Amino acid sequence: MSRLRIAVLGAGAWGTALAQAFADSHGVVLWGRDADHIEATRATGENARYLPGIRLHDALELTSDIHQAAAGADLHLVVTPLAGLRDTVRSLRHLQPGTPLIWACKGLEAQSGRLPHEIVGEELGSSAPCGVLTGPSFAAEVARGLPAAITLAAADADFARHWVHALHQPRLRLYANTDLVGCEIGGAIKNVMAIAAGVSDGMGFGLNARAALITRGLAEIARLAQAMGGQPETLMGLAGMGDLILTCTGDLSRNRRVGLALASGKRLADILRELGHVAEGVSTAREVVRLAGRHQVEMPICEAVNALLHDDLAARDVVERLLARDPKDE
């Protein structure tokens, strides 16, 4: 495997973790828009804001100049929050057009409800060489070199296979997929389900309730994915079931922590301020409900989470509403 130059664009927890994972095999430059944060990370050798206590690879380059990061790169890997994807891709269009692009953002764009690949298509055109990296992966574990397996999906099967081979690491295994819709729907909605799981656990409903919620949540995700052209089998893999289980059960999940805090009676604004990271499920919940309405897909768990987050309902009232639903066939 030849050594590549990879521009990782986004110096949050996941961007830093991926830069760390690829730095053993490739030349990696990590870009962040906050110059003070980048300088502090360079000076201390760790991303204390997002991954405290993890020593960064000595060969990792750091910059707050996106031109410097993108120039001469063989791959642009965008790992900003979803809200920053459009502006970052738009910048890349002018900096180094035609460079292969992979994004690792999950969610639905606020107001438009666009999936990440739709945003990229609008900015770069439908023929741009691109794909998504998604699946069950806590940044802190990947940054420490613990084993993980994720999916690289692209409409072009050759693109997916090529970059799976190029980026595959002994402890970060990649699997190719061509179902962009299914993979991105799985990655977006699992964050909403993780908030629900946190609420359930925080209210002491137990493991039976959590298992039921994850299972029924997966059914909701699969229904919407299929209505939008995704493949049901995708949701049985890493980008669906794998990501959902991890995010709903792992204590490192930011979205699960939001649910736990809501169950304790905390206000959402206070929770997000204390969290210090983006919890994509909060903004995604509203867009999922809108999307489900457009596609006439029933998604009661997502509707309940959206009501809890954005309609100022108490957690117990939302749970009671879910429990009061009529019985039906599975």
Name residue, tokens 């298992």.
Answer: 211
Shared fold status for 5-178 and 181-323: no
Q: pLDDT by residue (tens digit) across 57-76?
A: 999 999 999 999 999 999 99
Question: Is pLDDT of 278 > 90?
Answer: no
296 torsion bin: left (phi>0), alpha (psi -120 to 50), beta (else): left
Mean pLDDT value of segment 143-163 = 97
| Cα distances (angstroms) measured from residue 151 to each of 94, 232, 310, 323 | 28, 15, 32, 35
Mean pLDDT value of segment 278-295 = 93
Question: Is pLDDT of 330 > 70?
Answer: no
Q: What is the reported pLDDT for 322?
A: 73
Distance of CA 10 to the CA centre of its chain: 13
Q: What is the reported pLDDT for 320?
A: 75
Mean pLDDT value of segment 270-298 = 92
Average pLDDT, the chain: 94
Question: Is pLDDT of 29 > 90?
Answer: yes
Catalytic residue chosen out of the listed positions 106, 190, 266, 328:
190
For the four alpha carbons of 39, 43, 45 and 50, in that order, the dihedral sign comes to negative
Name residue, tokens 């009676």.
Answer: 265
Judged by average pLDDT, the poorest of 15-19, 62-66, 92-96, 222-226 is 92-96
pTM attached to this predicted model: 0.93
190 catalytic residue (yes or no): yes
Q: Return the domain boundaries, the chain.
A: 5-178, 181-323
CATH 3.30.300.210 holds for 181-323: no
Identify the CATH number of the domain defined by range 5-178: 3.40.50.720
Question: Is pLDDT of 327 > 80?
Answer: no
Q: What is the reported pLDDT for 323?
A: 67
Confidence of residue 219 (pLDDT cuts 50, 70, 90): very high
Question: Is pLDDT of 318 > 90?
Answer: no
Angle subtended at Cα 81 by Cα 76 and Cα 82, rounded to the nearest 5 degrees: 90
Angle subtended at Cα 70 by Cα 183 and Cα 278, rounded to the nearest 5 degrees: 45
